[in-house]
Amino acid sequence: MNEEDMQLEQRHLGIVLSKIEQAKNTINESLDKLGKENIERLKELSEDGSSSRGYGSNDFDVLLEQLHQKNLSFNLKGKYQTLNELKFLSSEPYFSRIDLYNKSSNTDERYYIGKFSYTEDKPIITDWRSKVASVYYRYRYPQKDVGYDTPSGKEVRDLKLKRTFEIQDGELIKYYNNDLQLDESSIIKEKIEKRTGGVLEDIIQTIQKSQLDIIEADPRQICVVQGCVGSGKSTVAIHKLAHIFFNYPKLVHPEKCLMVTKSQILAGYLSTLFPKLGIFDVTYKTLRDLVYNIIFREELKIKFDFDEGQDTSLYNKKKIESIQNQLQKVIKGYESKIKNIFKDPGLKLYASFKYSYDETPYENVIELLKDTLEEIKIQKYQLKLNPDGLNSWLNKQNLMNLRKILRSANRIRNDLQNNAVDKTVKSLNIDISSTLNYTDVLVYISVYLELIGMREYKKYEYCVVDESQDFSLLEYLILNKIVLRGRFALFGDLNQSLENDGVRNWDDIKSVITDARVANKFSLEENYRSTKQIIDYANNILKPYTDKYLPKSIDRVGEEPGEMLFLNEDEMLEEFRNSLSNDLKDIHKSIGVIVFENNDFTVEKVKEIMLKENIDKNENGFIKLTSNQKINYTPLGIYLMKSDDCKGLEFSKVYVLNLNTKKIKNYSDARKAFVSVTRAMNELQVFGVK
């Protein structure tokens, strides 16, 4: 670091922080003023409602509506969001600086890049999602003719300086000049070392080119990401959402965006990152919850039990294609019925209606009914205006013919509503009179969405699927029908597939996500989570079964994983208790305790040990993770879970109990063990029974 540059940067930081503080005060003052005005107006009405001012019984509701409209015009939600962004910026306003030279105008340009933007009469802080910010992630200085895309075309500049800052609580600690001599991996390692695990952290300061390619990929095209364990798939997925909302505000709205997972645990864990990136309105659900919503929103009259029939592996690619072919026959049948309405010689003149193949048969017939009712309204109006005119006979004839169309269209609509779905599902050998299991429900809903569609709710504008390898083709069939035009981002790792019915080949998904115009495939090969020693240990578990998609290390060095075998489970648990007691003396990290064999009895034993160690009274807390429970994640918690529930999580230290790697005999168990041990960032201890 240059001392003079350090002083200049400190001075600049002080100016920026002062501007941010002023902006915060201005917003707070306006919010306080609005709040006082609202309270005073409500108080006035309350006190004078029965006085000579003559307020009526509905005045209170009128006032509330007035206040609501006033708050909307004030953009109350936007003000609070800006205030939250400014609060963050007051601690760390930016993390980098780039200096560019514009040859065409012979001018120098300087950008300070942060998590959020801040502008007065000119940009003070540039958002990391802006087009120009990509220069920071993609290039080293000095370089000539570096390019970045803009809505008006490609811009070309000379990169004269790239600088990374470390700012904490508004204080400049140090900076790096990211020239060609600097080893940028050292910055990444330093950032990772400071993480405690337990919650997801943003990576805006350390986004790599391979990750940026995914984040910036066109959201109108399906994005498939094969990412090795610890490559930041989930984190990149959420950063991609933040990037889309910033750059495509008219295409994808947060409240119309869906993030779907298999487990409630993972859904809750992912949500810890949303507010850190200024995301508040995204819907995040498990697929099961999503299916529940469809059943109740659409008022489907079926009995079901989701605890039965969870394995959908029978519905492989061939069987899915068979269902799709059968559905197409049914759809063609209803298309013919709608078109046949106009084969009546008297109705041919009214055959302007065009059947849309982008819509379901039900949506088509509803559109026909709307058009017909509108035309009937027009003809009635014309007849009313001039009942005895020259055109009255024609108006009456038109009305008679239009009512014929109306009756025919209503018959088709009623048939679709009352018979079509049940009849088609029965033809697929599913007894709808009985209680449907999970698989049967998925088939039922897929038929319903193909023939009827979403009546009450519009399709989602974008969907991110995390741990996408664990979703079956049948489940993707459902998702394809509730998401607009195949706008998906799929993040997964085939080496972490723990479901019997999960995806084995990414290309198979194309057979069900049929609306996607283009499929972009990406690969993430480097593990940023774990030390080299932990990665080597994990890879050795998988190598007897596969050499595909094994994670590469960034050479972050740590301790060798410990592996101990005992004569019985009691001995193993006693050693675990002793080891955990040492951790509790000075806990400054998250700890994950994973029971490898999904044994409730062992889990309860481990829980008893933790409670005896007064972990529940520890300020950092003890949290037992269960698949259908929402919890609050903390960076310093102690988490207990079965191996089936640990997918997607990370902890500074991990204990894996009841795992003897020498007893692994098949690829399925190897994947399960691989997933368990790779939850560890810095320390791994494996305890098993001989």
Tens-digit pLDDT profile for residues 496-519: 988 888 998 898 888 898 876 667
Average pLDDT over residues 591-616: 82
In this structure, of 3-12, 64-73, 280-289, 368-377, the range with the lowest mean pLDDT score is 64-73
Transcribe 557-595 into DSSP letters: --PPPEEEEESSHHHHHHHHHHHHHHHHHT--S-EEEEE
**How many helices (H) and strands (E) are present in the chain, helices listed first?**
19, 23
373: left (phi over 0), alpha (psi -120 to 50) or beta: alpha
Mean pLDDT of the chain: 90
Contacts with 218 (C-beta within 8 Å, 6 or more apart), sequence order: 520
* CB 232 within 8 Å of CB 195: no
Tens-digit pLDDT profile for residues 641-657: 999 999 999 999 999 99
CA pair distance 113, 135, nearest whole angstrom: 11
Average pLDDT over residues 352-367: 92
pLDDT at 550: 96
pLDDT range class, residue 289, cuts 50, 70, 90: very high
Tens-digit pLDDT profile for residues 313-328: 999 999 999 999 999 9
Strands 118-119 and 123-127: antiparallel
Higher pLDDT, 11 or 389: 11
pLDDT at 63: 65
Q: What would the two tokens of residue 314 be? A: 């029978």
Tens-digit pLDDT profile for residues 30-80: 888 877 777 776 676 666 554 444 445 566 666 667 666 666 666 777 888
Three-state SS for 427-449 is HCCCCCCCCEEHHHHHHHHHHHH
CA pair distance 81, 16, nearest whole angstrom: 19
Rounded to the nearest 10 degrees, how much is the dihedral formed by the CA atoms of 341, 346, 352, 355? 10
Backbone CA torsion sign across 514, 519, 525, 531:
negative
pLDDT at 527: 96
CA atoms within 13 A on the CB side of 363: 18
What SS3 state is found at 498?
A: coil
Q: Is residue 267 over pLDDT 60? A: yes
* CB 494 within 8 Å of CB 549: yes
Select from 160, 180, 138, 182 the least CA-distant residue to 1.
182
Q: Is residue 572 over pLDDT 70? A: yes
CA pair distance 45, 533, nearest whole angstrom: 70
Q: Is residue 530 over pLDDT 90? A: yes
Q: Is residue 286 over pLDDT 60? A: yes
Q: How many CB atoms lie within 10 A of CB 271?
A: 18
pTM of the model: 0.90
Q: How far apart are the first and last CA of the chain?
A: 55
pLDDT at 143: 95
Average pLDDT over residues 616-639: 75
pLDDT at 617: 46
In this structure, of 192-196, 206-210, 432-436, the range with the lowest mean pLDDT score is 192-196
In this structure, of 253-257, 332-336, 452-456, 599-603, the range with the lowest mean pLDDT score is 599-603
Average pLDDT over residues 84-102: 95
The CA-CA-CA angle for residues 506, 315, 512, to 5°, reads 45
Average pLDDT over residues 351-368: 92
* CB 648 within 8 Å of CB 227: no
Q: Is residue 588 over pLDDT 90? A: no
- What's the longest Cα–Cα distance across the chain? 103
Q: What is the residue whose two structure tokens read 């741990």?
A: 467
Q: How many CB atoms lie within 10 A of CB 211?
A: 25
Q: Is 590 exposed, middle or buried (0-12, 13-18, 19+ CB in 10 A)?
A: buried
